[in-house]
Amino acid sequence: MELTESIGNHAASAGPGAVDSATIRRKRSFTILSARLLPILALVVVLCILWTYAPHFYRLNNLVNILLQAAVLGVLAIGMTFVMVSGGIDLSLPSAMAFGAVLGGLVMDGKPGLVPLGLLIMMSVPVAIGAFNGFAIAYLRMLPFVVTLATMTVVGGATVWITNSRTVEGFPEVFIDTLNHRPAGIPIAVLALAVLASLASVFTSRTRYGRWVYALGISEKAARVARVPAKPVLLSTYVIAGLLGGVAAILLTGRLGSASANMGADVIVLDIVSSCVVGGVSIYGGKGHPLGAVGGAIFITLISNILNALGVSFYVTLIAKGIVIILFIALDNIVRAATNAARTAR
């Protein structure tokens, strides 16, 4: 009898604490789940508004055009994902894209025989800029924000100087016709985005390199202890971003039929970061997925199209995108805090 009473008293004394702990864990799990589902909910709300006020939006041709508009942004967002997951950021990516496009266009200059050389330049120039950024950050231990901001300024200025603020035209017809071809009605740019997103997804999720990139973003010190080749991996993320910037340069010049310094406008950086953040890529590193970034690019493109259709000022659109970034970073903070608290409780 005494033993039974003792056990009952112990359970009574331990019960409230156990119940409180379980309740706290459930609340934290609900907070994490809600924050992760909020982007999907926001997309559903936007689609419902479009269905109500602009049902013609869902015509097949219009949807394909939206994907075409989002394709270049999606490619750039995939490149930025590698950098952000590793714990960095590349503000110079749009400028590198524009610089490569302009140099490639000047080399082609309406000569079909020089298209391969022009394509090589469009690809190699952003890669070289990415390698410079990566070397300065990984081996010289410079801050990513400072290095890429300086590179963005230098490269952007060089692009304006070379072109004298003029648009580079005269791309060979074979170049433009090839990139504007639509196999089975699907633009080349959309197909390229799908292929690159699939490859990036496999690369990040199923390879040792992908695990190394995530490890760097979570904790560089811990990654070094785990014998991750931190410097080469960190440098390679900026090279990959540059490579995808080169692909974006080709796709965009093919669509526009021209190249200019405006292709690398500062506002493009806002769109790229917005796409990544909305798609679940953490600004703090260690979390995110290329497919999420592509979804974020489509979401940002939808928002831009809706605001344009409503006749909203370009500057108000910038305000809206800035607010979106702030909100999703706040959500990321909530998820991180709840996740850390849950781990500590265990």
**Domain enclosing residue 120, as ranges:** 60-345
Domain-located, residue 187: yes
Q: What is the pLDDT of residues 255-294, one digit of tens each?
A: 999 999 999 888 899 999 999 998 889 888 998 999 999 9
Alpha helices in the chain (DSSP H): 2-53, 60-85, 93-108, 115-138, 144-163, 173-179, 188-205, 208-218, 220-225, 230-256, 266-278, 290-309, 314-345
CATH of the domain at 172: 1.10.3470
Q: Give the mean model confidence (pLDDT) for residues 37-54.
A: 72
pLDDT tens for 175-191 read 999 999 899 889 999 99
| pLDDT score, position 252 | 95
User: Which pLDDT does position 50 carry in this prediction?
Assistant: 72
Kindly write down the DSSP assignment for every residue of 92-117, as one continuous string: THHHHHHHHHHHHHHHHTT-GGGHHH
Across 207-217, average pLDDT: 95
**Three-class SS state of 71:** helix
How many domains is the chain partitioned into structurally?
Answer: 1
Q: Is residue 55 situated within a structural domain?
A: no
Go through 201-225 and write b for each residue having 16 or more CB atoms within 10 A of its CB, e for each that does not: bebbeeeebbebbbbbbbebeebee
The pLDDT of 135-164, averaged and rounded, is: 96
- Please report the pLDDT score of residue 187 as a whole number: 93
154 assigned to some structural domain: yes
Please give the model's pTM, rounded to 2 decimal places. Answer: 0.87
From the list 87, 80, 321, the residue with the least C-alpha distance to 212 is 87
User: Quick one: pLDDT band at residue 342, thresholds 50, 70, 90?
Assistant: low
Three-class DSSP category at 168: strand
User: Is 29 a member of any domain?
Assistant: no
Q: What is the pLDDT of residue 24?
A: 59
Q: Which of 62-71, 123-132, 143-152, 158-167 has the lowest mean pLDDT?
A: 62-71
Question: With contact defined as beta carbons under 8 Å apart, do 110 and 52 qualify?
Answer: no
- Flag whether pLDDT at 242 surpasses 80: yes
Residue 50, in any domain of the structure: no
Domain assignment present for residue 253? The answer is yes
b/e for 118-130, b at 16 or more Cβ within 10 A? bbebbbbbbbbbb
pLDDT of residue 104: 95
- What is the per-residue pLDDT for 333? 79
Length of the chain: 346
Checking if the pLDDT of 33 tops 70, the result is no
Q: How confident is the model at residue 324 (pLDDT cuts 50, 70, 90)?
A: confident
The percent of residues in the chain predicted with pLDDT above 90, rounded, is 58
Strand, coil or helix: 259: strand
Q: How much of the chain exceeds pLDDT 70, in percent?
A: 86
Inside any domain, residue 161: yes
**Quick check: is 44 in a domain?**
no
